[in-house]
Amino acid sequence: MKKVLVTGGAGFLGSHLCEKLLEEGNEVICLDNFFTGSKKNIEHMLDHHYFEVIRHDVTYPISLEVDEIYNLACPASPPHYQFDPVQTTKTSVLGAINMLDLANKCKAKILQASTSEVYGDPEVHPQPETYRGAVSTTGIRACYDEGKRCAETLFFDYYRQHELRIKVMRIFNTYGPNMDPYDGRVVSNFIVQALKGEDITIYGDGSQTRSFCYVSDLINGMVRLMNSDEHITGPINVGNPKEFSMYELATIVLDLTGSKSEIVYRKLPQDDPLQRKPVIELAKRDLGWEPSIELKEGLLKTIEYFKSVV
């Protein structure tokens, strides 16, 4: 049995990760300040003998004894991370420093939940891990994008300077149960609008693309990366390489929900990427991982979840 710390453990991804780690027989500490995390996401685990919850902000140090750390703490949707951009940057940078210091003290292995946002609005498509990105350091998304880029830098500096065992995972768009219905992400937006019979809002002309990975596939990739050989540090892309335009996604959601909502178009937000698709050859080769759940199958599960919360 390993003692595993999950920062951001009450969030969308964190709650699924905690569940997976408990199923595998680990002792799990969920650390969250509940800014975007929800107690509802973890309430079914609260009576588990090997599950513990600590309310704590990762921008402040904490002393624990653990074997592994999954660092997921950070608001991940634009409305949430732009609400307090200074705190978002602090969460990524100071949070990384504090968790790396803890890992160094405990001689623990540590995984950073990085993001495809480090590629910015990419000039290379699809995006391999070798691509360095096209990111605005002064735009409204920079608090998240640059915070995550700096966190990656810190992970590799600790790896070189302290010989810390690190794993860096670049997460592409992920969806599924436990998403906040009002987090401003495209999947949750479209499903909630469709279920309520409201207009489906597409920003831009609908031709911009994303690649959508179902949450269980993503979590399987994350755990495989943590358990991979010591020499595999990443960065490594984990996501679904099947690409869909925003218009295609909207029409699929309308079809699956049976909604009569109309599609309307609004101005594209500043620095919003026009394309996003991962190259996952490293994940296939080094982790033996690739996604297995098709978009319609995952959306049906997600729609059922949203029916119970909106």
- φ and ψ at residue 268, rounded to 5 degrees: -70, 130
Residue 144 designated active-site: yes
CATH number for 110:
3.40.50.720
Residue 178 and residue 215 in contact, taking contact as beta carbons nearer than 8 Å: yes
Classify residue 137 by its DSSP letter. Answer: S
Return the pLDDT at 128. 97
What DSSP element (H or E) covers 145? helix 142-162
Please indicate, yes or no, if residue 31 is contained in any of the structural domains.
Answer: yes
What angle is formed at CA 104 by the lines to CA 29 and CA 111, rounded to 5 degrees?
A: 55
**Distance from C-alpha of 129 to C-alpha of 168, rounded to nearest angstrom:** 11
Q: pLDDT tens digits, residue range 55-78?
A: 999 999 999 999 999 999 998 878
Please indicate, yes or no, if residue 132 is contained in any of the structural domains.
Answer: yes
Range of the domain at 110: 3-175+214-240+277-291
**Distance from C-alpha of 52 to C-alpha of 158, rounded to nearest angstrom:** 28
Please indicate, yes or no, if residue 297 is contained in any of the structural domains.
Answer: no
Tell me how far apart the terminal alpha carbons of the chain are, to the nearest angstrom. Answer: 38
Helix, strand, or coil (residue 27) = strand
The tally of domains found in the chain comes to: 1
- Say yes or no to pLDDT of 200 above 80: yes
Please indicate, yes or no, if residue 248 is contained in any of the structural domains.
Answer: no
- Which of 81, 144, 175, 214 is an active site residue? 144
pTM, two decimals, is: 0.96
Please indicate, yes or no, if residue 247 is contained in any of the structural domains.
Answer: no
Return the pLDDT at 269. 82
Closest by CA position to 209, among listed 262, 248, 263, 254: 248
- Say yes or no to pLDDT of 271 above 80: no
Please, what is the average pLDDT of the chain? 96
In this prediction, residues 164-174 reach a mean pLDDT of: 98
Please indicate, yes or no, if residue 187 is contained in any of the structural domains.
Answer: no
Please indicate, yes or no, if residue 188 is contained in any of the structural domains.
Answer: no
The pLDDT confidence band at residue 292, using thresholds 50, 70 and 90, is: very high
What 101-105 contacts at long range (C-beta under 8 Å, 24+ apart), as own/partner pairs, is 101/61, 102/5, 102/61, 102/62, 102/63, 102/64, 102/66, 102/69, 103/69, 103/158, 103/164, 103/165, 104/158, 104/162, 104/164, 105/63
Q: pLDDT tens digits, residue range 130-144?
A: 999 998 999 999 999
Please indicate, yes or no, if residue 298 is contained in any of the structural domains.
Answer: no
